[in-house]
Chain A
Amino acid sequence: MTGAADILDRVLNTLAAWALALLWVLPLAYAIWTAFHPAAYEARFELLAPLTLENFAKAWEAAPFARYFLNTFVLVTMILAGQFFLCTLAAYAFARFTFPGRNVLFALVLLQLLVMPDILMVENYQTMRLLHLVDTIPAIALPYIASGFGIFLLRQTFMTIPKELDEAARIEGSSFLGVLWKVYIPLAKPTYLAYGLVSVSHHWNNFLWPLIVTNSVDTRPVTVGLSIFSAIDSGIEWSVINAATLMTSGPLLIAFLLFQRQFVQSFMRAGIK
């Protein structure tokens, strides 16, 4: 290996990596450009084009986005709380208890990784109708609360915790739930963070099931609200649609840019197991 070839190799790789990166940010950069400039500059790129926030104001007034945000916030919180609760208990049972039927039940949990609730939307809609829950926020949340992925992820983490810690706590007089609360949950904090980030971003972005099960402003999450807003072809300028688009993805995008390292590590951690 000669030095010159090595340097050339490195330069070419860097250039290619950068070219792909620029290509990859182009769509988003473009959306940001149109959202912050008057409609006249949609397809004209001038460095000194005037900046404006008017597109955001127009979008905010044209549709009840405040309500949509509130709905999404409630939805995501509800799902996360439910998932943490149910998955923790189930993962604890699978990790540290022996009982008849354990393997069969675990296989049934893993089955959900393949047969996701989204695919069963036809039947789940019938269930929600029977329960009189159609067009409510719990109806969007319920199918996702017992997450096979969450149970699996937490079980893997709980199994790595040394049994000695568990036994020590028991000797000190903790009940089995006390051990879960004092030993397992604190030691699994990174997994909870990872799973929480993945869950929140997944359900913030979810669209198909909420589209089916909601039909009023009071329940629609932002994704469904955005799709309705941009489906009205006539009259709405691109710059306003792009402003609305950025607005709906904004909170997650800003959170991602601020906590980039944690995000990437969380997705990695969630995937490796």
Chain B
Amino acid sequence: MRGPNIKREWIYGWLLLLPAMVFLFAFTHIPAITTVLNSFFSTPRGRRPAKFLGLGNYERMLDDPVFWKVFWNNLWFALGTIPVSIALAIVMALWVNEKLTGRSFVRMAYFTPTVLPLIAVANIWMFFYTPGFGLFDQITGFLFGWPASNYLGNPDTALNAIIVVTVWKEAGFFMIFYLAALQAIPVSLKEAAQIEGAGRWTIFWRITFPLLMPTTLFVCVNAVINSFRLVDHIFILTDGGPDNASALLLFYIYEVAFRFWETAYGATLTVALLVLLSLLAIGQFFFFDRKVHYK
């Protein structure tokens, strides 16, 4: 009696999973494997089939100055966006969580960028950065008498200009998760601390912040993935320029694979991105493992 029953449950389980698994394998797992395989071959062109190159593509990558450029750019981009947007998200959530005059307007203002397409965001900011009559130049010119500056056309400022746009877009999104976490913290904890005479600053660092740690882990993982994934605005704002000063890894993969049509080298760069993402994911879990105690 028991035997066939269990078997039937197995079959139901597998059948229910089958459609989703077919799609997952077809567009995630199998491509991930073929990416690795293709990175050992040359790009097939016309009648010429792919040739086995061994580590040739990887040697090329390590010698490729543009790869190193976009690699460091991407790290700088991650370093510039993640801490600032998380800090801003926490501050925003703390404010919106309080009894504030016009709270719903403030919350709407913080969250609105999240619903806009990144392409639209780029269009809006493009005008801010326009040399001469863009809003930035108008403000700095009016207040400090600075001359017109080309933020997006200057290799020293292009990436930072993109970082500003990304923080604007992301902070309100992360705020939501902190807001949810803040609302789950019992008020009694804060009241008890107040009776003990703790100030706001102490309450935040000793009670609120540690209790937000699981949220910070979640947001951090998301922010890291985003810092390698968000490249849409680059297409509008700088197109990677000038001289690759604002190109990121995924943008470079797009250029190599779909502008120069070097798919094998594109696959090699994709492997590098996958390795980097996995290392960062593992690293974060070990780093936070010691600090997240409250589950």
Interface residues of A (CB under 8 A from B): 1, 9, 13-14, 16-18, 20-22, 24-25, 27-28, 30-31, 34, 42-43, 85-87, 89-90, 92-94, 97-100, 102, 105, 108-109, 111-112, 114-127, 142-143, 145-146, 148, 151, 176, 201, 204-205, 207-208, 211-212, 222-223, 226-227, 230-231, 238, 241-242, 244-246, 248-249, 252-253, 256-257, 260, 263-264, 267-268, 271-272
Contact = CB atoms under 8 A, between A and B. Distances in A.
B278 A114 contact: yes
A120 B21 contact: no
Which of the listed residues B13, B104, B118, B273 has the most CB atoms from chain A within 10 Å of its own CB? B13
Contact of A212 (B116, B124, B258): B258
A30 B19 CA distance: 47
Which of the listed residues B26, B127, B133, B274 has the most CB atoms from chain A within 10 Å of its own CB? B127
A21 B110 contact: yes
Given A123-B34, A205-B118, A268-B176, 7 more contacts: A27-B125, A86-B23, A112-B28, A126-B34, A226-B123, A227-B119, A264-B176
A238 B127 contact: yes
Contact of A90 (B21, B115, B168, B179): B21
A86 B22 CA distance: 10
B31 A93 contact: no
B40 interface: no
Interface stretch (B51-59, B144-152, B249-257, B287-295): B249-257
B229 A119 contact: yes
Contacts of B19: 85-86, 89-90, 146
Contacts of B188: none
A252 B121 CA distance: 14
Contact of B236 (A27, A227, A238, A256): A227
A114 B27 contact: no
A245 B120 contact: yes
B32 A230 contact: no
A93 to B, nearest CB: 4
27 contacts: A24-B110, A24-B112, A28-B113, A28-B124, A30-B135, A42-B133, A99-B10, A99-B14, A112-B24, A117-B28, A120-B28, A122-B257, A122-B266, A125-B258, A205-B118, A208-B232, A212-B258, A226-B117, A226-B123, A238-B127, A245-B120, A246-B120, A249-B115, A253-B112, A256-B112, A264-B107, A271-B218
B263 interface: yes
B281 interface: yes
B113 A24 contact: yes
Given A117-B28, A227-B236, A123 B20 contact: no
Contacts, number: 252
Contact of B105 (A21, A93, A125): A21
B120 A249 contact: yes
Given A119-B274, A264-B176, A272-B180, A93 B13 contact: yes
B119 A223 contact: yes
Contacts of A86: 19-20, 23
Nearest to A11: B101
Interface stretch (B62-70, B78-86, B92-100): B92-100
Given A97-B16, A99-B10, A108 B200 contact: no
B277 A115 contact: yes
Contacts of B34: 123, 126
B106 A18 contact: yes
A1 B107 CA distance: 28
A102 B10 CA distance: 10
Contacts of A22: 109
A146 B113 contact: no
A21 B9 CA distance: 54
Contact of B127 (A127, A227, A242): A242
What are the 9 closest A-B residue pairs judged by CB atoms, nearest first? A146-B23, A123-B31, A97-B13, A99-B13, A205-B117, A93-B16, A90-B20, A21-B109, A17-B95
B43 to A, nearest CB: 11
A117 to B, nearest CB: 6
B102 interface: yes
B5 to A, nearest CB: 12
A145 B23 contact: yes
Nearest to B266: A122
B35 A123 contact: yes
B61 interface: no
B168 A27 contact: yes
A98 B26 CA distance: 25
Given A30-B124, A120-B27, A14 B133 contact: no
